[in-house]
A and B are shown apart, each in its own frame.
Chain A
Amino acid sequence: MSKLFNKVLVANRSEIAVRVMNACRVLGIPSVAVYSDADAHSKHRYYADESVHIGPPPPRESYLDIEKIIAAAKATGADAIHPGYGFLAENPLLARRCVEEGITFIGPTPDAIRLLGNKVESRLTMADAGIPLIPGMKDSSGDIEAFRAAAETAGYPVMIKAAAGGGGKGMRVVHSPEELTSAVEAAQREAGNAFGDDTVYLEKYIVNPRHIEFQVLADTHGNTVHVFERECSIQRRHQKIIEESPSVAVDDQLRARMGASAVKVAQAAGYVNAGTVEFLLDATGNYYFLEMNTRIQVEHPVTEMVTGTDLVVEQIRIAAGERLSEAFLNLAQRGHAIECRIYAEDGENNFMPSTGEIVHYSEPVGPGIRVDSGVMHGSQITIDYDPVMAKLIVHAPTREMCINKMISALNNYKILGVRTSKKFMIDCMSHEAFRQGRTYTNFIEVNMADRDISLDGYRDMAVAAASASAISRPKTVASGGDGRVRQPSPWEAIGPWQIGDSIDE
C-alpha cells in the first residue's frame, strides 16, 4: 500500500487527537501534534511522531490560530491536516487556507462547511431539497421584536440557537415571553465567546423528542452512503453524555426513510468526507432535520463498534481521493454499542466543571470494551479547554447486555483527583425508563431530578479503602516539594554506565 499522505498534522488536542493519530498509524502515516503551553505534558503531544508548540493556553492564541496551524504543517512537511472536532473543525477559513497552501484538509470543502455551519442558510437549502424542518425563524435577526413575533407564531416553548453553533453553546429554551429577552442576550454572549459570531435564531421546541443522528460518508467519486443511526437523547445542558446504536425507536422502515433523508441532505450540500445529519424524532415517528455537523463526531465510535469499520481511517482515505471502501458499500449493524462520555465535571453537583490533577488513572479491559482517552496519570485538568477527558465505548450482542457491560466497565474505569459523572451515568442506565428504551431528550430532568447522592451508606467502605491505601503505599524514594511520591527511574537504579564499556573509577 502506498502512503496516502506523507505526514498528517492533527490540529487538535486530547482524546480526539490521539484517536486520529491511531488512524494515521493504521495507515502507516506519521502524525504531528500541536500543543499549547497548557498541554506541554499532555498525552496527545507525545502520542504523535513529532510535535510543534503553538502558543499559550487560550485557544484563540493556539488551537484556534489558523496561521500557527498552517505554519506548523509547513515546518514539519505535513501535507494534510485533520482538524478533529471542536476548535477549527468547522471553520471554513482553515479549510480554505489549506486549499491555498496546497495542504489537504481532511474534511469537507470550505463551501460545504460554510453552508452547513450557517444554520439559517442550511435550513433554506434543506427546505428546498424537501427535508422536513422544525417551524421557526426563516432568517436570523438581532431585533428582539423579530424573535418575539417568531416565538408567538411557533408557540412557546421555543429554543434560541447559535447560527454558528454546536455542543450546546449559545442554546436556551424559553418557556414564556418574559424570559425571552434575557435568553436571547445570554445565547448571543455565549455564541460570541464560543464561535466568534453572536448570531442566534429561534425555533419551536419539540416536547419529548429523541435525538437521532445518521453518520454519512461521501467520497469524491459521487458515492454517498449512510452508516446507520446513533441515538443521543441522554443530554445535560444540551450536551450529550450517553450515546447508543442502534436506537430502540428506529425500525428497519424508519431507518431506511431517515437514512435516505440523511443521504439527500449530504448531497444537497455537495458534501464530501464524514459528516453527521442530526434529526429530532417525535413520538409519532415524524422526524425533523436539525443540522449537519461537518466533522467527525465525539460519538463516532458507537457506529464503528456496530459496523466493524474505522471512520477516521475512511476520512483520511477519502481526503486522499480514494473511493469508499468495500466495507461501506455492504454495511450491517451487529449487536449494540453504547458510549459514555467521561467529562471532568461533578455529576453530583449540577455538572459543575471539575479541575485538578489526575492522581490515579486506570482503564477497564475486556472483550468489546474500548477507551478513547486523552488523559493519563498526572494530567492537569484546567479551565482552559472543554472538559471531555475520555470516552468509554462497549459492544455486546444485545442492548441489555450492553448496558450491563457498560455499568461494569464504568465501575472499573478509575480516575481520581477530579470528579466525573460516572455514577450519574450508571444511575441513568440503571433506571427502568432507560432499560425500557424511554429515552427522550428530557430524560435527565424527568428521571434524575430526585436522585439520591447521599454518601451515608458509604462511610465504612470509604474508610476501609483509605485504610487499605494507607498501608499499601509504595516506599518513598524521593519526594518533590508537592509531597508526591516519585518512583525511581530505572536509570537511577542502574547507576552510572556507558555504552559498550563499564565505568572504572
Chain B
Amino acid sequence: MSSLEFLFEGEVVDATVERRSQAIAVTTGGREIVLFPAGENLFSAQVNGRKVSIAAVRHKDRYYVDIDSVLVELSEPSAEMTSSGVGDAGEADKIYAPMPGKVVKILVEVGQDVAEKTPMVIVEAMKMENQVNAKAKGKVIAVNFKAGDQVDTETPIIELELEAAEGESG
C-alpha cells in the first residue's frame, strides 16, 4: 500500500493505493474506488451501477485525466504551482490575450476612458478573431502592442488605471 498526494483544483487531496491482483484499489475522500486496467493508461470502474471509462497519464509533473470525457488536470503538491498567466478576474487593470496569437486591432488609445465591457483589442489565433473587453471602468494608461504583433498570454496588451468603485453618485 502506498500513500499519495495530489493537487486538485487548488486543494491537496490524499489517497492510499493498493494492488489487488489485476485491479487497483484507491481510497480517497472517505471511499474506495477500484479501477481495472483496460490498456496502456486506460482504466475502467463501476460506480453506482454504471461503467466509467478512464484514461490517466502523467506528463511533466502533471496528471491528465479523462473520466467519461470529463477532462481533469492534477499535479503533485510538491511540484511548483505554475501560474497560467491568463489574467484572472481580479486583475481587471490588465488586458491579456486569451491565448497566444496576433494582434489584429487595438480599439482604444492611451488616455481614453473606457466603461466595463468596452471592446479593447482583437486577437487572432487559429484564424478566429477573439475580442477582449474591459472588465471594469477606467482610463487607458498603456498600450504595449500594435496591430500585427505576436502576443503571448503573460504580457498585458493594454493597462488601465481603474476608476474608484464608489466614484459616482451612487
Contact = CB atoms under 8 A, between A and B. Distances in A.
Contact of B29 (A362, A423, A459): A459
B142 interface: no
The 9 closest A-B pairs by CB, nearest first: A414-B55, A469-B56, A416-B64, A464-B26, A466-B63, A465-B56, A464-B33, A422-B69, A359-B59
A467 B15 contact: yes
Chain B residues touching A, majority SS: strand
Contacts of B31: 460
Interface string B91-107: 00000001111001100
10 contacts: A189-B105, A190-B127, A352-B98, A360-B57, A419-B71, A464-B26, A465-B63, A466-B4, A467-B17, A472-B41
A460 B40 CA distance: 21
B99 A190 contact: no
Interface string B57-88: 11111011111111110100000000000000
Interface string A142-164: 00000000000000000000000
Given A412-B53, A458-B72, A483-B60, A465 B128 contact: no
A449 interface: no
Contact of B42 (A386, A414, A462): A414
A460 B33 contact: yes
B45 A461 contact: yes
Interface of A: 169, 182, 186, 189-190, 193-194, 237, 348, 352-353, 355, 357, 359-360, 362, 383, 385-387, 410-412, 414-417, 419-420, 422-423, 426, 455, 458-473, 482-484
B71 A467 contact: no
A353 B126 contact: yes
Interface stretch (B6-14, B110-118, B133-141, B157-165): B6-14
A467 B28 contact: yes
Contacts, number: 178
Contacts of B11: 459
A414 B105 contact: no
B125 interface: yes
B128 A169 contact: yes
Interface in B1-47: 2, 4, 6, 8-9, 11, 13, 15, 17, 19, 24, 26, 28-29, 31, 33, 35, 37, 39-43, 45, 47
Given A463-B13, A465-B54, 4 more contacts: A348-B71, A466-B65, A468-B26, A482-B60
A169 B64 contact: no
Interface residues of B, number: 62
A276 B66 CA distance: 36
Contact of A465 (B19, B43, B101, B105): B43
Contacts of A467: 4, 6, 15, 17, 24, 26, 28
A359 to B, nearest CB: 4
B54 A360 contact: no
A470 B6 CA distance: 11
Nearest to B58: A469
B143 interface: no
Contact of B35 (A193, A412, A465): A465
Contacts of B13: 459, 463
Contact of B67 (A355, A359, A386, A458): A458
A383 B125 CA distance: 6
Quick one: which of A189, A348, A410, A461 has the most chain B CB within 10 A?
Answer: A461
Contacts of B37: 468, 472
B17 A355 contact: no
